[in-house]
Amino acid sequence: MRTCIATVSLSGSLTEKLAACAAAGFDGIEIFEPDLVASPLSPEQIAERARELGLSIDLYQPLREFEAVDEDEFTRNLRRARRKFEVMRRLGTDLLLVCSNVSPRTVDDDALAAAQLGLLADAAAEHGIRIAYEALAWGTAVNTYAHSWRIVEAADRPNLGLCLDSFHILARDGDPRGIEQIPGDKIFFLQLADAPRTTMDILQWSRHLRCFPGQGGFDVAGVTGAALKAGYHGPLSLEVFNDEFRQADSARTAVDGRRSLIRLQEQLGILDLPAAPAPSGIAYAQISAADPERVRRQLTALGFTTDGWSRQGDLVETWQQGDARILITTGSAGRDSHRDSHHDVARLTAIGLHTPDPAAAAKRAEHLLAPVLPRDHRPQEAVIAPDGSLLYLVPAPPEGASDGGPNAPTTVVIDHVALTQQWHGFDEAALFYSSVLGLTLRESVELADPRGLFRSRTVTNADESVRLALNLAPHPAHIDQHAQHVAFAVPSVIDAVRRLRAAGHDTLAIPANYYDDLDARFDLPAQTLVRLRELGILYDRDEHGEFLHCYTESVGRVFFELLQRVGGYRGYGAANAPVRMAAQHNHTITAGR
Ligand SMILES: O=C(O)c1ccc(O)c(O)c1
Ligand SMILES: [Mg+2]
């Protein structure tokens, strides 16, 4: 299907927006009126620029506060509309979006609304213009698509139809199945936006938190599917008001948006992509460090051993314990993320994922506009993740061979890897890992660090043998601090900490207050509490089981977590994260003094 995006969804000048849309492969755009009003280009020049870039102008929007008003106001509104017809003629576009009236002056009178919209349509017809009427979720009288359809049906003009917007429908818990009853040729336009599930004022929610389909909690595919069933054959158009998108790089946002529509069309059975790779385990995590000695010492203390250096295209050192593998590289194997100028600081630069069919997975990534590295010099297929780190697609081990797994406590496995996202890349990352890798998104949580709120969201495969935590630092300056880590599930955290201590290594110091609080919250046996306190081990519990964990000191930007899931504990100890981050903060300060 044709794909469009509203200019309001992107940062930059109108010219920059057009370039970004074209580069990402969109077919057309909706011109958001304030973008045109603020542009130094004339409508003709904008049309020319769009033509040069191969973009159609599919919609001009919005005409506001138009219908169901008194005679005088209607006369003024019609005059205003005629001026817009003139702008549209100069732009060479023929579809005008009218959103339902949000003014207190409008009356709840369907007959009046239909009559006035009918007259608007008649005036538009003289210019070959069509009108798409959209129910805003906060419209004074008209705020559901069913209501807007009753008015459009009553007005009964060939050039008056509906604009459906998934946000307005789903934010009010509308049932999209009713859309199937609307004649497809009366749905003039379909705008798509997702949003995180929340409870807040609906206008604020719409203007600040919309996101691309697949990034939030709305069933955008349900609305789209219903419109297609009704016979809608216009474009799929993204209309996203989002504070971060307004600041982020428009070229990146546009690609992110296109990816969301490719994935949506796959979900709807319109596009056929190679199947999602279904990674079956974390093969390894890779740390780059110019001076890897401290990483080696820490891994040794944790019980890892190495078989030395090897060259598989890049120079790497493999460290292993049980089924957990860490690669250390001092070379360029971990592509330096563009934001990272501290090449000598140890940091996570790649992970390897066991993938049943790496070649097909790489093909899928290409279809979804993810950068795939050329195969030359590389032992494995590799995709660049949004944070700049590399995802190696490693052939899965043969059936029956142990691939770790979350509840394999007899040996050491990588339980999860936590990666830091760029400040505007959180939604992009969520969509990347879910669409490209087929991982499932979990709820996003906020974690209090002494310097601000971290956001964290995990993505997992079906049996949770692959768990990635996507962390977003509160401030770009903190981007890699307190966030990047590799968590090892061990048979016994208590034994592991004792071994570490015996080897002369400390774990992150946890304040006594924490244990007093633990005692208040959980009725733990006194002896258990004493042991946890002595060893600096954090504790959590859910309805499935218990969780014990502790942390190493950071080496560069990376630290390690040792954890033990008892029973079917599902979480990550999020309740303890603020204590851990405060401890890391205090440690940094102490170390810095
Ligand atoms: O927030 C608004 O005003 C607004 C304008 C036009 C739209 O299509 C929309 O969905 C919202
Ligand atoms: Mg809209």
- State the CATH number of the domain containing residue 428: 3.10.180.10
Choosing from 244, 267, 290, the residue where a domain stops is: 267
The answer to the question of residue 67 being in a domain is yes
Q: What is the pLDDT of residue 419?
A: 94
Name every residue whose Cβ is closer than 8 Å to that of residue 437 and which is 6 or more positions away in sequence. 276, 277, 279, 353, 361, 391, 459
pLDDT digits (tens, 9 = 90+) for 211-252: 999 999 999 999 999 999 999 999 999 999 999 999 999 999
The answer to the question of residue 214 being in a domain is yes
Do residues 290 and 348 share a domain? Answer: yes
Q: Give pTM, 2 decimals.
A: 0.94
| Residue 580 reports pLDDT greater than 80 | yes
Choosing from 209, 241, 267, the residue where a domain stops is: 267
Question: To test ligand 1's pocket by mutation, which of 32, 98, 133, 136 has the most ligand atoms within 8 angstroms of CB?
Answer: 136
Q: What is the pLDDT of residue 335?
A: 45
Do residues 254 and 286 share a domain? Answer: no
170 CA → ligand 1 middle, Å: 14
Question: Where do we find the tokens 């077919």?
Answer: 27
Q: Nearest Cα to 328, choosing from 357, 291, 275, 365?
A: 291
Number of domains in the chain: 2
Residue with the larger pLDDT of the pair 477 and 289 = 289
Give the 3-state secondary structure of residue 13. coil
The answer on whether 134 is annotated among ligand-binding residues is: yes
Do residues 262 and 285 share a domain? Answer: no
* DSSP per-residue letters across 228-242: HHHT--S-EEE---B
Name every residue whose Cβ is closer than 8 Å to that of residue 446 and which is 6 or more positions away in sequence. 453, 454, 455, 456
Is residue 515 very low, low, confident or very high in pLDDT (cuts 50, 70, 90)? very high
The answer on whether 165 is annotated among ligand-binding residues is: yes
392 CA → ligand 1 middle, Å: 41
The answer to the question of residue 425 being in a domain is yes
Q: Which domain holds residue 7?
A: 3-267
Would you say the ipTM is above 0.95?
yes
Do residues 293 and 224 share a domain? Answer: no
The answer to the question of residue 24 being in a domain is yes
Do residues 290 and 253 share a domain? Answer: no
Residues less than 5 Å from ion ligand 2, measured at CB: 165, 191, 239
258 CA → ligand 2 middle, Å: 18
d(CA 93, CA 85): 9
| Residue 344 reports pLDDT greater than 70 | no
Average pLDDT for residues 325-352, to the nearest whole number?
71
The answer to the question of residue 274 being in a domain is no
Q: What is the pLDDT of residue 337?
A: 45
pLDDT digits (tens, 9 = 90+) for 31-74: 999 999 999 999 999 999 999 999 999 999 999 999 999 999 99
d(CA 296, CA 288): 12
If 0-12 CB within 10 Å is exposed, 13-18 middle and 19+ buried, where does residue 592 land?
exposed
| Residue 102 reports pLDDT greater than 90 | yes
Do residues 228 and 285 share a domain? Answer: no
The answer to the question of residue 421 being in a domain is yes
d(CA 339, CA 344): 14
Name every residue whose Cβ is closer than 8 Å to that of residue 533 and which is 6 or more positions away in sequence. 512, 515
User: What CATH number is associated with residue 84?
Assistant: 3.20.20.150
Do residues 462 and 500 share a domain? Answer: yes
Do residues 246 and 395 share a domain? Answer: no
The answer to the question of residue 273 being in a domain is no
Decide: 314 in ligand 1 pocket, CB within 6 A.
Answer: no
| Residue 336 reports pLDDT greater than 70 | no
Question: To test ligand 1's pocket by mutation, which of 143, 239, 246 has the most ligand atoms within 8 angstroms of CB?
Answer: 239
Do residues 15 and 51 share a domain? Answer: yes
Decide: 239 in ligand 1 pocket, CB within 6 A.
Answer: yes
Q: What is the mean pLDDT of the chain?
A: 93
Decide: 98 in ligand 1 pocket, CB within 6 A.
Answer: no
Do residues 304 and 196 share a domain? Answer: no
43 CA → ligand 1 middle, Å: 22
The answer to the question of residue 574 being in a domain is yes
Decide: 65 in ligand 1 pocket, CB within 6 A.
Answer: no
Do residues 358 and 241 share a domain? Answer: no
d(CA 464, CA 442): 11
Name every residue whose Cβ is closer than 8 Å to that of residue 457 and which is 6 or more positions away in sequence. 426, 430, 441, 442, 443, 444, 445, 469, 470
Choosing from 213, 237, 267, the residue where a domain stops is: 267
105 CA → ligand 2 middle, Å: 22
Is residue 290 very low, low, confident or very high in pLDDT (cuts 50, 70, 90)? confident
Is residue 334 very low, low, confident or very high in pLDDT (cuts 50, 70, 90)? very low
Do residues 189 and 291 share a domain? Answer: no
d(CA 283, CA 105): 63
